Amino acid sequence: MNTRKFWSRVKARIKEKGMTQEQVAKACGFSYGTFRNWIYKNVSLPLLYANKISKVLGVSLDYLINGQKKDDKSNSNEEVIKLLKMAEEKLRKR
């Protein structure tokens, strides 16, 4: 995970939601000082903590980590969909 980009997305989302870092920290159950240090030092968080932040900010964890929004399609997802469709067609032909 690129922690600088993660925290950049967190800060941008905090601003978009009109919240403060202190409000987000409190809503997640973190102390403000700890949360502020994580941001300042670009700390790589355990997924549990990152997930709490994503829920409070109303975005997916995938978005915070990879910058991918729900409606974005990654190549890997498209490949999986193609493979599933091919398998479904083969099963129908049996």
Is 13 a residue whose pLDDT tops 60?
yes
Q: Write down the pLDDT at residue 30.
A: 97
Is 74 a residue whose pLDDT tops 70?
no
pTM: 0.73
Q: Write down the pLDDT at residue 73.
A: 47
User: Which homologous superfamily does the CATH classification assign to the domain defined by 3-68?
Assistant: lambda repressor-like DNA-binding domains (1.10.260.40)
- What is the pLDDT averaged over residues 63-76? 69
Q: Write down the pLDDT at residue 78.
A: 66
- For 77, the token pair is 């997802």
Judged by phi (left if over 0) then psi (alpha if -120 to 50, else beta), residue 31 lies in beta
Tell me the domain boundaries of the chain.
3-68
Task: Give just the sign of the alpha carbon dihedral 4, 64, 69, 74.
Answer: positive
- What is the pLDDT averaged over residues 12-20? 97
